[in-house]
Structure 1
Amino acid sequence: MQIQQTVFLTLITASMFSCSSPEQPFTKQTYPVKGKISVDGKEPGSPIQIQCLSTGEIDTEHPTASGSISANDGTFELSTYTSGDGIPPGDYTLTFVWKKYDIMSRGYSGPDKLKKRYDKPEKSKIKFSVVEGKPTDLGTIELTTK
């Protein structure tokens, strides 16, 4: 009985993959965006979560989600599909959350060290545009805990 179930599951899985479309999923062209975060004039010393949100109309047919996690020295590259690939052209705002990384849960927890100053798009003053065909360097973004 065990062998029959295994053979059946194998045949079902094979038929699912043979019927699937060979087309790749739709992806938008992205362009590199990099920068560095400074907190109270210093390198943060631990990762800061960055979310990149479009300020334009939402593409309901092909929506994207972009963001990054900074290195301990504050440097970052924004990503959409793969690490550091950049983001599609458009106008954006960045949000930042700086919590403690919990190794056991592999997630972030605790209070936001930035005291929720930059956690929502309407609070953030970090706005920029990505132009087709050009990389974007945001320079150093100064954040504060005070």
Structure 2
Amino acid sequence: MNSSKSTINRSMHLCLLGLLIFVPSCGNSNNLYPVTGKVIYKGQPAVGAILYFNVKGADPKVSQTASAVVGEDGTYTLETSRFGKGAAPGDYTVIVYWPREDTEAKGHHTPAAPKKGNQPDRLKQKYFVAGNPLLEAKIIAGKNEIPPFDLTD
């Protein structure tokens, strides 16, 4: 009788191990989830605009900041600095910095945070005030498509 209990226990352990190996995960090991969206200005894609997603209520100097550069079609994909693509679940404030054409960020990379006043902002820093953000977003565990941000002067 002990050998049958032992066989059942081994079978259960193998079954559980199999589930752990083959069940896919939505997030990665850094607790980041895919985040995409679109940024529009006067009906056109805000190409080259840089977005910074900061955890709501946290000090952006200390917490993880997710960022993205808006592409030719107006879309963006968030990355969290050196941790990879995506962002952790939570409530975020969003600031936008859109450099003028002659100083635009090129390509889809994780941008370094510009210093306020370093380069001219097309939006005159209207969306670049961390203490009074005009945009917010919620990121959940899973795939996220943020509603479009429609910027104005």
Normalising by the residue count of structure 1, what TM-score does the alignment of the two structures yield?
Answer: 0.64
**Superposed counterparts of 1:1-146, under 5 Å:** 28-44=30-46, 46-57=47-58, 63-81=63-81, 85-100=85-100, 102=102, 110-132=119-141, 134-145=142-153
Q: Kindly report the root-mean-square deviation, in angstroms, between the aligned alpha carbons of the 2 structures.
A: 3.2
Cα deviation 1:103-127 (Å, max 9, x = unaligned) = 7xx8986421111110023333221
Could you tell me which runs of 5 or more consecutive residues in structure 1 were left unpaired when the two chains were aligned. Answer: 1-26
In structure 2, how many angstroms separate the alpha carbons of the residues matched to 1:100 and 1:127?
Answer: 24
Aligned AA (1:113)? R
Moved over 6 A (4+): 106-109
Counterpart for residue 19 of structure 2? none
> SS state of the match for residue 85, structure 2?
coil
The structural deviation recorded for 1:65 is: 2.4
Q: What number of residue pairs does the alignment pair up?
A: 115
- Cα deviation for residue 131 of structure 1 reads 1.8
Is 2:38–2:75's contact at 8 Å kept on the other side of the alignment? yes
Per-residue deviation, 1:54: 0.6
TM-score of the two chains, using structure 2 as the length reference = 0.62
- Report sequence identity in percent: 25
Q: Rg larger in 1 or in 2?
A: 2
